[in-house]
Amino acid sequence: MSDPSALPGVLYGALTRHADERGAMREIWRASMAAELTPADTGGPPGRSPAYVQANLSSSQAGVLRGLHFHRRQLDRWLVASGQAWVALVDVRPMLAGGDTPRVEHRALGPDEWVIIPAGVAHGFLALEALELIYFVTNEYDGTDELGFAWDDPLAAIPWPVLAATPDGQPIVSERDRTNPTLPALVERLRLSRTG
């Protein structure tokens, strides 16, 4: 069962957990139950049948913020295995088409909840508590498609929660994410690369 978003191509949902006194089992992915992948959503080349080709497990301590990351040739399917993530999505596609503002959406996801993020939608998450996130992607790691912009970019204006997990209430951010360009600078660079 999935829950559509206001952002085209984004879907949210939750797994079914089968539990008893011994523990629990849950299917994390089944090809026949997955939404159809299209080249438009995956950023893949026309004529190639899109599919999930890599899976990763990300572990983060409470207070870690990862993002905002952006892919032109990759769709992500995130699944919270344990903990709580505050997920922020920024649809950059309207800006790449000539608009001047992105569309932004955010929500908290807990264990067994998932989100599908199409190419062109920047994404980041804040670990509200110790977090394990499984993500499936439609493109093997490609450093040329690892783009990003500032997690606190004023144009995106994401209302990241204040954290009790860190002394100053600020997130723990990697050097890469701390030094990413602004969203307008990234969009301008991508527009120039398409015309140049």
Kindly state the average pLDDT of the residues 156-178: 92
Which sign does the torsion angle of CA 20, 55, 3, 164 carry? positive
* Chain segment 23-62, per-residue pLDDT in tens: 888 888 777 766 678 888 898 877 778 888 999 999 999 9
The whole-model pTM stands at 0.91
**Could you tell me the domains of the chain?**
2-195 (2.60.120.10)
Rounded distance between C-alpha atoms, residue 73 and residue 78, angstroms: 16
Kindly state the average pLDDT of the residues 145-163: 95
**By the 8 A CB rule, do 72 and 152 touch?**
no
**By the 8 A CB rule, do 52 and 78 touch?**
no
DSSP-derived 3-state class of residue 32? helix
Q: What is the pLDDT of residue 109?
A: 98
**By the 8 A CB rule, do 26 and 16 touch?**
yes
Kindly state the helix (H) or strand (E) to which residue 187 belongs, with its residue range.
helix 183-195
